[in-house]
Amino acid sequence: MKYVLASASPRRERLLKRVLQEFSVKAAKVDEMLRAGEGLASAAKRLACKKAEAVASKNPRAIVIGADTVAYLGKRNFRKTNSEKKAREILKFLSGKTHIVATGVCVIFPKGTGKRRVCYCEKARVRMKKLAPNQLKNYLKSGEWRGRAGSYDISGKGRALVQGVKGERETVIGLPLKRLRKLLAPAKKW
């Protein structure tokens, strides 16, 4: 069976290697704008499905895995940014607080496998340390925050900013693995 990861994220690729030995990576180009009034966890799931659908349409014989991650606190969301000013604002706001990271996952199976699509969302609570000005300045200098939900990467230098995680750490990185392993296990036998 052929597997395709519908993502350009190297972190998701590294995580998926824990589950699958072989797969290809094809970035999905989709509009990632949130809809007015849309719940953030619902948005992560919807966007994961859009990514998977875009890649599955060009790979009809493959099992396609799409994912999208959002970080939020209350109604305020912290999507990816490439602006250092915005990243500084986000990290200052999250400093010393607990926020939610939700990763939506969509797996699309080819016809004849008994399944067609499974979509779900996993959440984790992340407690950020109270960030010292110098710590924030050095992290921003690293550039690691670019393109990361919440403007940090818990699998890299950003782990020093985090006090603790309640939930699956892989959800925060961008691809929760527990449910995905169970979902893909029967597919490996086809």
Report the catalytic residues: 68
Phi, psi of 54 (to 5 degrees): -60, -40
* Closest listed residue to residue 176, CA positions, set 48, 3, 51: 48
Dig out the tokens for 63 from the structure. Answer: 């099992």
According to DSSP, the β-strands at 98-108 and 62-73 are: antiparallel
94's enclosing H/E stretch is helix 84-94
